[in-house]
A and B are shown apart, each in its own frame.
Chain A
Amino acid sequence: MNRAPGVVILVLLTGLGVGATYFVQHISAPRIAAEQRLIDSRNLLDLLPPDSYDNQPLEQPLGLAGIVLPSSTLLGGYRVTKSGQPSAVLLRSQTLGYEGSIELLIAIGANGRLLGVKTLRQSETPGLGGRIADWPNAWLQVFAGKSRAEPGDAGWALKKDQGTFDQIAGATITSRAVIHAIHDALSYFDEHSQQLIGSSAHE
């Protein structure tokens, strides 16, 4: 029969193709995963000063998940250590902005002071609220060095809400959401500093 050898060759070719692809994928998967982790850490960890840590924070999750705070939810956290001593905590916080949910990465030092805030995901108005996604970000930089006590709990709000922070021009709701999410994260850190970094937050 004329068609049989053709079909056999086709089936053989398919089998060979699937096998070869599986084999290549199996061999290269660990390498690709390691490279992906490296890219992720470079993207996310540039909000920490480079000489303040020597571990892989993204591979040391704190096991927090779905913790509901007054205006945000904590999706996860990572511990940052230097020479075995915890030096900071990274908290992933999700809050509701103007157009959708905003996901922030909030870095808090061991002394309870903010090291930096970075936007991981947002769908705010481009050019207005969407400016929280710029990096480096002049508006988010204002929060660096602040803590829960400075300004106090009442100071963590927009100036038009009797607080101390300016909003991004034209993006009041987005700014308010971000400020409350940061305040929630700082409060959570203060209340749980024992379990997050194993010591009291205030030096």
Chain B
Amino acid sequence: MATIDLGHAATHQRPDDPSLPPYKRYRAAAHYRDRDHEFDAVKMGVWLFLATEILLFSGFFVGYAVMRMLHPEAFRAGSHHLDWQWGLTNTVVLLVSSYTVACAVRNAQLGQQKLLKTNILITMACGFVFLAIKFIFEYSKKYREGLLPGWFYSYPAAGDPYEPMWWGIYWGATGIHALHVTVGIGLFMWLFSGALRQKYGPEHYTAVEGVGLYWHIVDIVWIFLFPMLYLIH
């Protein structure tokens, strides 16, 4: 399999020539041996951050498990208010965006500047589509009907006395997830502005890799949320 090297051996030979694109002139921070060292350290830092993200969402998953064991009927009743069509559509949207961001990393590794920008834009667009579906077709409808978490629940015909608890899990888990999608869109805007200035290429693509990893975790969380919330019967 093809590999690339961030070029620690050749680093000192690269002059600080303004005519070279920024990614070719990138220098590792002073406390790293070379760019490879910096890349590995940053990547591991991102993985440690992702570990905390997984633990954040696992709180919701444990809460879900407890509530569902105690009140399965409430979960069934609550889940029937969700449209699995929108859940499935959003799953496909996020999977495609995960693919395009994996492609973006590849483009950066190969120095394909135009494709890199295109893939970042597609991924960002997928994030917007996800949020649009969530807010226009799901959240606003639930909000109008009063299908709100715990205390704010005001739907006139609860399927189970404990249904407000289900809505707490639903709004909490999907809300924190939507927040992560929003943050991801912001990160892709930042990446795009960097890509416009040719900051990412074979010699330096740490940011593309890190944001990509974050986006994959957001995707993975939705991979679990979709069947757990939408496919109960």
Check if A and B associate: no
